[in-house]
Amino acid sequence: MNPSETVPAAPAPAGASVLDRVLRWIARLGLVGALTFLLGLAVITVSPFIATAFEALISPESNLPRLAGVLVLLFVIVVPAGLLWVAHRKHWGDSWRSLAAGYALLAPVFVWLAWDEPTVRYPVSIDELCPPGPQAEASWAVTLAYTARGHQPAPRKYSEPKSPRPAAQPEKPAEWQAYLEKNRTELHAAWAGLPEREWWAELNSFPVLGDLMPARFDAPIIKFPPYRAMAQLGCAEASLLALEGKGDEAMDTLLPLLEVGRKLEPSARSLVRFMVARIIQKMSLSTARFILDHATVSPDRRARLAAALQGGSGGPAGARRLLLIEYAISSNYLLHQFGDAPHQRPLWKRGLLGLFRFVYNPVATTNRYGALIAELADLAERRELAGFGTRAEAFVAANSRPHFKNMAGGLMLSMTIPSYAKVLDSYWKIEDQRAALAADLAR
């Protein structure tokens, strides 16, 4: 008899056996988590309702009840538990070999999900697109006089003027004149007591109005109310002077409004500032037409008006820049979702960012957006508004539908794009208005 057949083998050390079981359970959990993650992506891709339902948990603006979000959350909890139970019953993952095979099968999928395009194909420099010009720092500070910056309060405090609510606009002359004559005394008084006139004169003292806003969505931008008050009351005052037969005084009141509106645009680094400039210009151009139709204006004032129409920016190049301004900021935002110093974040945040890389590819997302903007900018230059709107709507619709790869990137793009079609339509109408007025002055 062979002694080795009668003497039982010594059992493995208890500590090693427990450690082995713990490590295998951890490996199982990781494998189940990975499978659940991929299953979740697949379900969301097939059924966008799941993604919408999950928003009910995290967004107060969701149209779905919170119960829908709870059901989705239960799905995320129940599926891993079910997979673990099945794995235990079927003895899946009992050996390291089977666990290694599972990870080997899943690894290429996760590598593919995390892979990003190597370079940005549509780089845009905000400094080249919006040159600050001379005295940029000083003039930019004046444009932000009513804006808090960081922890510093705004240098100036704005209060709404006590004036009649605008019931008409200068582009409708008959209604505008009726409004002015009805509220003549109140409008004169509101303009005379408007403290923003001093600030506006300081704005107009600069040859250009610089914009040094960094390419971030949280950067300081101009506040619209004081600009609106100056434009509304200034145009009303100029129109009243024209009705009183004081054409040159009316033009002296109006021209600083138009000049500041034109100076705000060339360096504008945000769509907000660009549109504020355009609103001021639209009101000023309509008021200039009203003045010329109701009063005599001397040749030197007409020449100054013509010069103001030629300043600033506009035309096809202005339409293209309108698109590129927002892209410059959005691309910077899309590219830096992971931040510049991830090592400074808490460990749990770094872990979440690591998972985020499997659903978000920043460079690919930026390139997709850049390709759209390049196409839209060409359409904007050519004033093909119908094709512009159709292409933008198709892009939003395509990216609103979740995709298995770069899912978060597509959803972010569907929420990033402003309503460019309306903005562009307004831009070209104002350009028509400016060109028509310039042509009349040249006769």
Same domain, yes or no, for 359 and 303? Answer: no
Same domain, yes or no, for 153 and 300? Answer: yes
Window from 85-89, 184-188, 243-247, 270-274 with minimum mean pLDDT = 85-89
Same domain, yes or no, for 93 and 184? Answer: no
Q: How far is CA 27 from the centre of its chain?
A: 42
Query: CA 110 to CA 40: how far, in whole Å?
Result: 14
Mean pLDDT on 122-126: 89
Mean predicted lDDT score pLDDT of the chain: 85
Other beta carbons within 10 angstroms of residue 398's beta carbon come to 13
Domain end marker among 93, 114, 135: 114
Residue 4 lies in a domain: no
Cβ distance 164 to 186 under 8 Å?
yes
pLDDT tens string 401-413: 788 899 888 888 8
| Helices 299-310/420-442 angle, 10° precision | 150
Query: CA 281 to CA 261: how far, in whole Å?
Result: 5
Domain end marker among 285, 313, 341: 313
Same domain, yes or no, for 337 and 306? Answer: no
Residue 439 lies in a domain: no
Tell me the β-bridge partners of 152. 149
Mean pLDDT on 76-93: 70
pLDDT band at 30 (very low <50, low <70, confident <90, very high): confident
Q: What is the DSSP letter of 4?
A: H
Amino acid in position 323? L
pTM score, whole prediction: 0.80
**Tokens 């004149």 found at:** 177
Question: What residues make up the domain containing 100?
Answer: 13-114
Farthest-apart Cα atoms in the chain, separation: 131
Residue 440 lies in a domain: no
Two tokens at 289?
A: 């037409």
Same domain, yes or no, for 91 and 135? Answer: no
Domains contained in the chain, number: 3
pLDDT tens string 338-371: 655 445 555 555 656 677 889 899 999 999 999 9
Same domain, yes or no, for 55 and 168? Answer: no
Better-predicted residue by pLDDT, 318 or 66: 318
Q: How far is CA 434 from the centre of its chain?
A: 28
Same domain, yes or no, for 298 and 366? Answer: no
Residue 429 lies in a domain: no
Half-sphere exposure of residue 434: CA atoms within 13 angstroms, side-chain side: 27
| Helices 420-442/315-335 angle, 10° precision | 150
Closest to 76 in 3D by CA, of 107, 33, 47: 33
Domain end marker among 284, 313, 342: 313
pLDDT tens string 243-274: 999 999 999 999 999 999 999 999 999 989 99
Query: CA 127 to CA 82: how far, in whole Å?
Result: 55
Same domain, yes or no, for 32 and 175? Answer: no
* pLDDT above 50 (res 113): yes
* pLDDT above 60 (res 2): no
Better-predicted residue by pLDDT, 399 or 214: 214
* pLDDT above 50 (res 12): no
Same domain, yes or no, for 138 and 201? Answer: yes
Residue 176 lies in a domain: yes
Amino acid in position 307? A
- H or E stretch including 252? helix 247-264
Same domain, yes or no, for 176 and 295? Answer: yes
Mean pLDDT on 138-153: 92
Residue 431 lies in a domain: no
Cβ distance 256 to 204 under 8 Å?
yes
Contacts of residue 421, Cβ cutoff 8 Å, sequence gap at least 6 = 385, 388, 389, 392
Residue 438 lies in a domain: no
Same domain, yes or no, for 136 and 237? Answer: yes
Residue 6 lies in a domain: no
Amino acid in position 368? R
pLDDT for position 238: 97
Same domain, yes or no, for 22 and 96? Answer: yes
In sequence order, what DSSP letters do the residues of 222-243 get, joined into one string? --HHHHHHHHHHHHHHHHHHHH
Mean pLDDT on 208-227: 90
Query: CA 195 to CA 159: how far, in whole Å?
Result: 9
Other beta carbons within 10 angstroms of residue 358's beta carbon come to 21
